[in-house]
Amino acid sequence: MSTERILDVSADADALANRAADWFVAELASRSGPLAVALSGGSTPKRLYERLTRDPWRSGLDFSRIHWFWGDERIVPADDARRNTLMAETALLDHVPVPPENIHVIAASPTTPEDAALAYEAELKRFYGADTLDPERPLFDIMLLGVGSDGHTASLFPGKPSLAVRNRWVISSEPGLDPFVPRVTLTFPAIASSRAVAFLAAGADKKPILDKVFAGADLPSAHVTAAGPIHWFLDKAAVGE
C-alpha cells in the first residue's frame, strides 16, 4: 500500500486543470479492458471535468470503456444543485458519448442514506466481480478526491465514526461541514483500492489545511492510501510561495 505523495503545483486553477487532465488521460491510456473512475464533488474538479469534454483530452479517452462512479454524494433530490452527480453530469457526462450503463450513480432522496449506501456497495461488488477487495486487483483505476477546509475528503469528516469503518465499502455518513445534508461515502478501504489517487485543491483558502496535511496532522485527507502514489494537483495560491 502506497502513501507516497507526488506534488504538482501549477500557476493557477486553470493551469492545474490542464495538468490534471493531461495526467488523467495518460493514466487511462496505459490500461486495457474496462476502466473505473471515481469522481469527487467540489469546486476544483469541475474545471477538470470541463477539460475532458474538449480536445485534446476528449479524443484521448475511450468513453465506451470508462465506468464513472462517485467517491461521495449528498442524499438530496436528484435535481438539487448540491448533488455531486449533477455537477459531474453538467460539466462532463452530458457532453461526451458515455453509454448510460457506464454511469453508476449513488441514489438520491427519498432513498435513505443507509439504503443508498447498501445499494451502492452492491453495485460496486457487481462491477468488481467479488465481495472482497484484492490488493493485487484495485477496484478503481483513478480516484479523484478533494480536501475540505476541515481536512475531510470524500464525506469522511474529522472525528466521525466513519473513519474507523473497515468492514464496508460504502457507508452513510454525517456531515461535519456545510452543506449539512445526509451523505454517502466510500470508506478508507474502498478508496485504498485505487491504482492511482489524485487530490485537487486550488485557492488561498486551502492553504491553512494543506499546511496541516503536509505537516502530518491527523486528518482524513492525510490518511488516504492507494495501490500507487497519491498525486496532489495544487495551485500556487494553495501552497503559498
Ligand X SMILES: O=C1O[C@H](COP(=O)(O)O)[C@@H](O)[C@H](O)[C@H]1O
| Selected binder of ligand X within 16, 23, 28, 41 (CB under 6 A) | 41
Type of residue found at 118: L
Window 47-76: residues binding ligand X (CB under 6 A): 72
Contact flag: residue 27 with ligand X (CB under 6 A): no
Distance CA 222, CA 35 (A): 26
Q: What are the Cα distances from residue 109, in Å, to 38, 69, 202, 214, 240?
A: 21, 18, 30, 36, 40
| 85 contributes a contact to ligand X by CB under 6 A | no
Packing angle, helices 43-52 and 84-91, rounded to 10: 30
Check: CB of residue 24 under 8 Å from CB of residue 49.
no
Residues 91 and 57: their CA atoms lie apart, in Å, by 14
- Min dist CB 189 to ligand X, Å, is 18
Q: How far is the CB of 59 from ligand X (least distance, A)?
A: 28
Question: Shortest approach of ligand X to residue 44 CB, angstroms?
Answer: 5
Q: Which of 81, 85, 87 is nearest to 73 (CA)?
A: 85
- C-beta of 73: minimal distance to ligand X in Å? 7
Cell of 37: 473512475
CB of 168 to ligand X, least distance (A): 18
Residue 113 as a binder of ligand X (CB under 6 A): the answer is: no
Q: Which of 38, 51, 52, 84 binds ligand X (CB under 6 A)?
A: 84
Cis peptide before 175 (omega within 30 of 0): no
Q: Candidates 38-46, 112-120, 212-220, 227-235 — which segment interacts with ligand X by CB under 6 A? A: 38-46
- Please tell me the count of residues contacting ligand X according to CB under 6 A: 12
Between 113 and 148, name the residue whose CB sits nearer to ligand X: 148
Spatial distance between the Cα atoms of 181 and 158, rounded to a whole number of angstroms = 16
Q: Which is nearer to ligand X, 42 or 113 (CB)?
A: 42
Nearer to ligand X, 138 or 148 (CB): 148
CA 236 vs. chain centroid, Å, equals 22
Q: Which residues contact ligand X by CB under 6 A?
A: 40-44, 72, 84, 145-146, 148, 154-155
